[in-house]
């Protein structure tokens, strides 16, 4: 897996009192769902200390401002167009994060979340420690599609990097022992990765390229 990673932050940083792990993106647009899939996998595989909150930020934009302002440490997973090879991971830290999220926007959710980070800085309520783990997408113009293989492989590496940082922050990650209830899950069961991929209709059944009858009729006009 290709990576373009920066050195870890100084080990002497204080342990944060409130840790937020945030996945940004849209599950319905293939690799755009990378961040949310990271959160889903973390929650289904691991448990954390009580001061750790995992959130599917989706495309909520400014509605996430109060969450960012209340966090002492913020870990963000997102699909970011860095102009690198698909599946490449890049870590960005602290005050540099808003700059990278706005460098080349792929969708409106990134515009909204860049504003969230900027407002948090403006109000002097920016987390003391921020880490963005971004993955270069391969395909986002596929409505109803899932992560492409190279990005799905990158997800596993991103999770390992995220867990390493969470351990350093004092999040106490451990393998999940207690079953995850439907109420707790950040992703509905029917939208979980395996179900989402298995239940997608074929291209012919869904006619994702448009209704052939309609297209043929208009071509003949």
Domain definitions of the chain by residue range: 3-219
pLDDT tens per residue, the chain (221 residues)? 555 655 455 455 678 999 999 999 888 888 999 999 999 999 999 999 999 999 998 777 778 899 999 999 999 999 988 888 999 999 999 888 877 765 555 554 555 788 888 888 889 999 999 999 999 999 888 888 889 999 999 999 999 999 999 999 999 999 999 887 777 777 767 677 877 777 777 766 666 665 555 555 556 65
pLDDT in tens, 70-119: 999 999 999 988 888 999 999 999 888 877 765 555 554 555 788 888 88
Q: Write the class of the CATH domain 3-219.
A: alpha beta
The model carries a pTM of 0.82
H/E/C letters for each residue in the chain? CCEECCCCCCCCCCCCCCEEEEEECCCCEHHHHHHHHHHHHHHHHEECCCCEEEEEEECCHHHHHHHHHHCCEEEEEEECCCCCCCCCEEEEEHHHHHHHHCCCCCCHHHHHHHHHHHHHHHCCCCCCEEEEEEECCCCCCCECECCCHHHHHHHHHHHHHHHHHHHHHCCCCEECCCCCCCCCCCCCHHHCHHHHHHCCCCHHHHCCCCCHHHHHHHHHC
């Amino acid at each position: 897996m290709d990576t373009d990673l920066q050195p870890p932050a100084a080990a002497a940083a204080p342990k944060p009192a409130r840790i937020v792990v945030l996945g940004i993106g849209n599950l319905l647009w293939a690799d755009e769902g990378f961040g949310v899939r990271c959160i889903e996998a973390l929650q289904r595989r691991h448990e954390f200390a009580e001061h750790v909150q995992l959130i599917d930020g989706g495309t909520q934009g400014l509605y996430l401002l109060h969450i960012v302002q209340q966090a002492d440490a913020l870990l963000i997973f997102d699909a970011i167009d860095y102009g690198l090879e698909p599946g490449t991971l890049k870590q960005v830290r602290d005050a540099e994060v808003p700059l990278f999220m706005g460098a080349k926007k792929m969708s409106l959710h990134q515009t909204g979340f860049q504003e969230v980070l900027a407002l948090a800085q403006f109000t002097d309520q920016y987390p003391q420690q921020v880490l963005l783990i971004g993955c270069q997408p391969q395909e986002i113009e596929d409505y109803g599609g899932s992560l492409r293989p190279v990005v799905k492989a990158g997800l596993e590496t991103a999770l390992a990097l995220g867990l390493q940082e969470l351990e350093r922050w004092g999040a106490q990650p451990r393998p999940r022992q207690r079953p995850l209830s439907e109420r707790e899950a950040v992703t509905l069961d029917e939208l979980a990765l395996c179900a989402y991929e298995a239940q997608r209709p074929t291209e012919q059944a869904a006619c994702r390229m448009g209704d052939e009858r309609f297209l043929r009729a208009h071509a003949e006009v």
